[in-house]
Amino acid sequence: MAELSWRPVTLDDLPSLVTLAQACLDHDGGMPSLATPQTVAGLLVGEVGIAGYDELDDLVAVAALSRGEEDALVASGLVHPSYRRQGFGEQLVAWCREHADGELVHVVAETMSPEAESLFGSSGLRRTRAEAIMRHGLTHVSRIPLPDGLESLAYRPETMEAFFTAYRLSFAERPGFSDTAAAEWHASLAADPEFRPDDSRVALDGDGVPAGYVVMSGEWIDQVGVVPAWRGRRLGAHLTVRCLTVLRREDADFAWLAVTLGNPARVLYERLGFELYGTRARYVDPFSAQRGG
């Protein structure tokens, strides 16, 4: 088994961390933004971190603790595909627990692998969320018309209420739905520097009642929702391929979306040409809090 040299993570490690993140993405897929310096710095150059280097002084394993939303303690880590199944993942889990000082640890995994699934399960971590990251190559985009009786409008001050209503009607019946206030929901869109109001659409019936909506952000189809009364009429498919058409006309390389594991909408996306790129997940570690009891 290989031996690694362990030392604290610093900003000087950022280029090596980006290289490691890209190697994991190339092997496992996942959230493509993981391998950007901004994301790597946010997740892996935290309050405290540990990095493992091999005999050639290549960084091949890392874990870090940082502060996330509402000051939650967040752990994230990576192990190079060539160094898995040698116990380094277990060492990183133990290190995070030791340095959590009794706080509940929230684990952010922007790329997942069979080894990570096995490690987290055997370590007693509880998964709270998982999404399939799907990618469309834009080589062929289907033509699906807007269903009869509907009109499609862009995101504007006068349509903001309709967008939010479409969001609530589309997802209110889902388990775990968070009934976000309208102002907060719109603020989250406005805070996204890549939000595309002109290409985000809300579909309204003849009485002005929302039937569905789609939100675009950069090359991402960020949200798609169809109210129950309009499901089964290919409205969701239309809204999705409309976004794909926009991106194809811009000569984008890919279109992206994330869908919760188990969501039946994934079948629709696959029929439209999306392919699985990888998964991302969130966990909590009850054992970390128990250690501080």
Tokens of 277: 């790129």
Tokens of 121: 């399960």
pTM for the model stands at: 0.92
Tokens of 109: 């995994």
Do 157 and 127 sit in the same domain of this protein? no
Do 71 and 138 contact (CB within 8 A), yes or no?
no
Do 127 and 179 sit in the same domain of this protein? no
Do 18 and 38 contact (CB within 8 A), yes or no?
no
Do 133 and 33 contact (CB within 8 A), yes or no?
no
Do 29 and 279 contact (CB within 8 A), yes or no?
yes
Q: Is residue 110 part of a domain?
A: yes
Tokens of 88: 């380094």
> Residue 214: left if φ>0, alpha if ψ -120 to 50, beta else—which one?
beta
| Residue 113: strand pairing partners | none
Do 160 and 111 sit in the same domain of this protein? no
pLDDT at 13: 97
Do 50 and 128 sit in the same domain of this protein? yes
Query: How far apart are the C-alpha atoms of 201 and 37, rounded to whole Å?
Result: 32
3-state secondary structure of 273: coil
> Residue 109: left if φ>0, alpha if ψ -120 to 50, beta else—which one?
beta
Do 65 and 168 sit in the same domain of this protein? no
Instruction: Provide the domain limits for residue 112.
Output: 5-132+280-290
CATH number of domain containing 21: 3.40.630.30
Do 161 and 247 sit in the same domain of this protein? yes
Q: Is residue 17 part of a domain?
A: yes
Do 99 and 171 sit in the same domain of this protein? no
Query: How far apart are the C-alpha atoms of 248 and 252, rounded to whole Å?
Result: 6
Tokens of 58: 């290549």
Do 32 and 100 sit in the same domain of this protein? yes
Q: Is residue 258 part of a domain?
A: no
Tokens of 4: 């690694």
Q: Is residue 261 part of a domain?
A: no
Of 288, 286, 291, residue with least CA distance to 127: 286
Do 52 and 16 contact (CB within 8 A), yes or no?
no
Do 116 and 89 contact (CB within 8 A), yes or no?
yes
Q: Is residue 262 part of a domain?
A: no
pLDDT at 293: 46
Look-up of token digits 């192990």: 79
Do 57 and 86 sit in the same domain of this protein? yes
pLDDT at 173: 86
Tokens of 181: 């206030």
Per-residue pLDDT of the chain (293 residues; tens, 9 = 90+): 579 999 999 999 999 999 999 999 999 999 999 999 999 999 999 889 999 999 999 999 999 999 988 889 999 999 999 999 999 999 999 999 999 999 999 999 999 999 999 999 999 999 999 999 999 999 999 999 999 999 999 999 999 999 999 999 999 888 777 889 999 999 999 999 999 999 999 999 999 999 999 999 999 999 999 999 999 999 999 999 999 999 999 999 999 999 999 899 999 999 999 999 999 999 999 987 765 54
Do 12 and 100 sit in the same domain of this protein? yes
Do 247 and 284 sit in the same domain of this protein? no
Q: Is residue 208 part of a domain?
A: yes
Q: Is residue 179 part of a domain?
A: yes
Do 19 and 118 sit in the same domain of this protein? yes
Helices 160-171, 182-190: axis angle to 10 degrees equals 110
Q: Is residue 143 part of a domain?
A: no
Q: State the total domains in the chain.
A: 2
Q: In 10 A of CB 206, how many CB atoms?
A: 8
